[in-house]
Amino acid sequence: DQQVKQNSPSLSVQEGRISILNCDYTNSMFDYFLWYKKYPAEGPTFLISISSIKDKNEDGRFTVFLNKSAKHLSLHIVPSQPGDSAVYFCAGYKAAGNKLTFGGGTRVLVKP
Amino acid sequence: GAGVSQSPSNKVTEKGKDVELRCDPISGHTALYWYRQSLGQGLEFLIYFQGNSAPDKSGLPSDRFSAERTGGSVSTLTIQRTQQEDSAVYLCASSLAGNEQYFGPGTRLTVT
């Protein structure tokens, strides 16, 4: 039972263009959604989060959009840079239980 | 400041042997989590420690897996009688409160 799904395993984008990463969830009880970025041989690092009561959160080049009716969130990276090449995981967080549930990840390649 | 550290970084073991993986969380973090990432998969929750409470073991895949957290700090994940399907990257994370978890670099376990 995958509560959080990232249906695109990979994404390739030209430097300077927009990267859009998508994530769908089935559990309406998540309190927050988070995006993590992972480089090879390193642990995931926190990127940006959004409360379930919000529909948008922006931090520099990164914006997360939440569509609760569609149970869908997306991460926009504008402009994309070669250093953004990594695997991105979305995750849902439930305060009750204090746990994260991760999607399968999307590998992003930003071409110079 | 020091982040989450894990040891060893790589472990190769023969099928049937026991292994111990270690995690040193960020000092003062009360919550500690273990995840694993199998090849091409997302992060799978294994076990969660919070302060002195009984751990949430709901993600452990079999009774061959166990974990301890001594003195509210260092944690050890033990896998007994390893199987080839146990091969994965085992990630530890810690947090102070709320949803942001800080990950270590992981231990890559290969069972031959």
| Residue pLDDT, tens place only, B36-75 | 998 878 899 999 999 888 899 999 999 999 999 988 799 9
Do residue B42 and residue A32 have CB atoms under 8 angstroms apart? Answer: no
Query: What residues in B contact A97, CB-CB < 8 Å?
Result: 56
Q: How many CB atoms lie within 10 A of CB A75?
A: 23
Q: What integer pLDDT is reported at residue A95 of this predicted model?
A: 85
Q: What integer pLDDT is reported at residue A97 of this predicted model?
A: 78
- Of A19, A54, A33, the residue nearest A103 (C-alpha): A33
Q: What integer pLDDT is reported at residue A27 of this predicted model?
A: 83
- Of B11, B1, B20, B7, the residue nearest B96 (C-alpha): B1
Q: Identify the residue with better confidence: B100 or A56.
A: A56
Strand partners, B31: B50, B95
Q: What integer pLDDT is reported at residue B1 of this predicted model?
A: 57
Which of A32, A45, A102 has the CB atom closest to B43's CB atom? A102
Do residue B48 and residue A49 have CB atoms under 8 angstroms apart? Answer: no
Which ranges of chain A have pLDDT less than 70?
A: 1
Task: Write out pLDDT tens, residues B5-44.
Answer: 999 999 999 999 999 999 999 998 999 999 999 887 889 9
Q: What residues of B are in the A interface, CB distance below 8 Å?
A: 4, 31, 33, 35, 40-45, 48, 50, 56, 91, 93, 95, 98-106
